[in-house]
């Protein structure tokens, strides 16, 4: 077996299961889970209908590149959403549909990275664990940039030494961030593009939470948008990852896309033809319906806004917690150790959260996730309110 498999750490939810294995949740209270970021809002009925109407397409082999109609719908959405120059995206060169961004983030790294013991994949910390695992299995080392309250949960890219950028082959950014919800501003994205030019690395921007933001607030900017604002319509060294999982409440559809630099996506497409990961045609047709509609996305945003309003009104009296720039997570400080907070909250109030340290790595004795928990406001509004009231009561009892 590949010896690098031994370097993979248990996924955060495996750590969570081990932590709570001997915990008996309060049987007098119904369980409420704020731990897993799985959307619970209803999937759009018209998307499910499109899926059902085309199940006969399960008898047809899909192509790796996907249907032109799907790539066109993605192109149209990207161009409008991120104010890109019309015609700057070629459906045959700049867009690849993928089976969810999780597999794409991992496989893109395998296709891109040149195995080198000195090579680096740079990522935020806390981070989505795929970034780290993809680096190990591509034969390079991960390098972590701390995100905490001191830097607004956005890495201090100015503090990164030149020798790190020189070794960097791939920079992962996550904007809006998981778990912090922080959005990297336009000028910072443009700074990163200039650094990528200077040191010859690729930027992979995980933007899966970009469509969940306050209905009356600004939409998060994206990496391709930063390119366009600089007049870089070739999107050199830049790729973005988007998904229907959070935007459209379709995590089980496993539908997303990679877009950006055609010179990178061409060899990546070749890799994918061997990887064997073509999206089923009925899923592609359902995805077209989802990308072509914004009404359900606006409704989704309104539902999350209502939950943030209600939950923050309850928790702010007892916790240090702020509304995120975007996304559906809260990232509050805990009044006691985050693992102890998690186990006792489950035992006493039957509410599940994730210790922040499980979403981060300790570097030089510092774990930027320690002392925090991640709360996913994915449950129905009434459950989120009840969970917040239980958390408030639990903290007051400490």
The pTM score is 0.97
- Sheet of 354-355, strands arranged across: 329-330, 373-376, 354-355
In three-state form (DSSP H/G/I as H, E/B as E, the rest C), the secondary structure along the chain is: CCHHHHHCCCCHHHHHHHHCCCCCCCCCCCCEECCCCCCCCCCCHHHHHHHHHCHHHHHCCCCCCCCHHHHHHHHHHHHHHCCCCCCCCCCCCCEEEECCHHHHHHHHHHHHCCCCCCCEEEEEECCCHHHHHHHHHCCCEEEEEECCHHHCCCCCHHHCCHHHHHHEEEEEEECCCCCCCCCCCHHHHHHHHHHHHHHCCEEEEECCCCCCCCCCCCCCCCHHHHHHHCCCCCCCCEEEEEEHHHHCCCHHHCCEEEEECHHHHHHHHHHHHHHCCCCCHHHHHHHHHHHCCCHHHHHHHHHHHHHHHHHHHHHCCCCCCCCCCCCCEECCECCCCHHHHHHHHHHHHCEECEEHHHHCCCECCECCCCCEEEEECCCCHHHHHHHHHHHHHHHHHC
pLDDT tens by residue, the chain, 398 residues: 988 999 999 999 999 999 999 999 999 999 999 999 999 999 999 999 999 999 999 999 999 999 999 999 999 999 999 999 999 999 999 999 999 999 999 999 999 999 999 999 999 999 999 999 999 999 999 999 999 999 999 999 999 999 999 999 999 999 999 999 999 999 999 999 999 999 999 999 999 999 999 999 899 999 999 999 999 999 999 999 999 999 999 999 999 999 999 999 999 999 999 998 999 999 999 999 999 999 999 999 999 999 999 999 999 999 999 999 999 999 999 999 999 999 999 999 999 999 999 999 999 999 999 999 999 999 999 999 999 999 999 999 99
The structural domains of the chain, ordered by start, are: 3-42+296-397 (3.90.1150.10), 59-293 (3.40.640.10)
Structure tokens at 318: 């007892």
């Amino acid at each position: 077996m590949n010896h690098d498999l031994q370097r993979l750490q248990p996924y955060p939810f495996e750590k969570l299961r081990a932590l709570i294995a001997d915990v008996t949740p309060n049987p007098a209270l119904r369980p409420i889970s704020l731990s897993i970021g799985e959307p619970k809002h209803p999937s759009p009925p018209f998307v499910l209908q499109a899926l059902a109407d085309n199940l006969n397409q399960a008898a047809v082999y899909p192509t790796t590149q996907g249907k032109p109609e799907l790539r066109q719908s993605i192109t149209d959405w990207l161009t409008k959403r991120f104010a890109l120059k019309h015609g700057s995206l070629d459906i045959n060169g700049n867009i690849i549909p993928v089976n969810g961004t999780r597999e794409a983030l991992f496989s893109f790294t395998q296709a891109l990275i040149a195995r080198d013991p000195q090579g680096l994949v740079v990522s935020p910390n806390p981070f989505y664990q795929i970034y780290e695992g993809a680096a190990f299995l591509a034969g390079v080392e991960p390098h972590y940039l701390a995100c905490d309250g001191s830097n607004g949960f956005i890495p201090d890219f100015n503090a990164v030494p030149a020798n790190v950028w020189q070794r960097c082959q791939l920079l992962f950014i996550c904007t809006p961030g998981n778990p912090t919800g922080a959005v990297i501003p336009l000028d910072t994205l443009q700074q990163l593009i200039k650094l990528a030019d200077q040191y010859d690395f690729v930027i992979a921007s995980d933007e899966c939470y970009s469509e969940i933001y306050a209905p009356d607030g600004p939409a998060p900017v994206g990496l391709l948008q930063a390119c366009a604002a600089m007049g870089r319509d070739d999107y050199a060294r830049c790729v973005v990852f988007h998904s229907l999982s959070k935007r459209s409440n379709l995590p089980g559809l496993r539908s997303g896309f990679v877009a950006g630099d055609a010179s990178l996506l061409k060899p990546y497409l070749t890799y994918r033809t061997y990887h064997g990961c073509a999206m089923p045609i009925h899923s592609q047709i359902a995805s077209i319906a989802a990308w072509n509609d914004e009404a359900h996305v606006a409704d989704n945003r309104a539902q999350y806004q209502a939950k943030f309003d209600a939950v923050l009104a309850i928790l702010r009296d007892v916790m240090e917690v702020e509304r995120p720039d975007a996304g559906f997570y809260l990232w509050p400080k805990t009044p006691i150790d985050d693992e102890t907070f998690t186990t006792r909250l489950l035992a006493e109030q039957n509410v599940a959260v994730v210790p922040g340290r499980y979403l981060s790595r300790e570097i030089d004795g510092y774990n930027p996730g320690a002392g925090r928990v991640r709360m996913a406001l994915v449950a129905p509004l009434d459950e989120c309110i009840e969970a917040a009231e239980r958390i408030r009561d639990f903290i007051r009892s400490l």
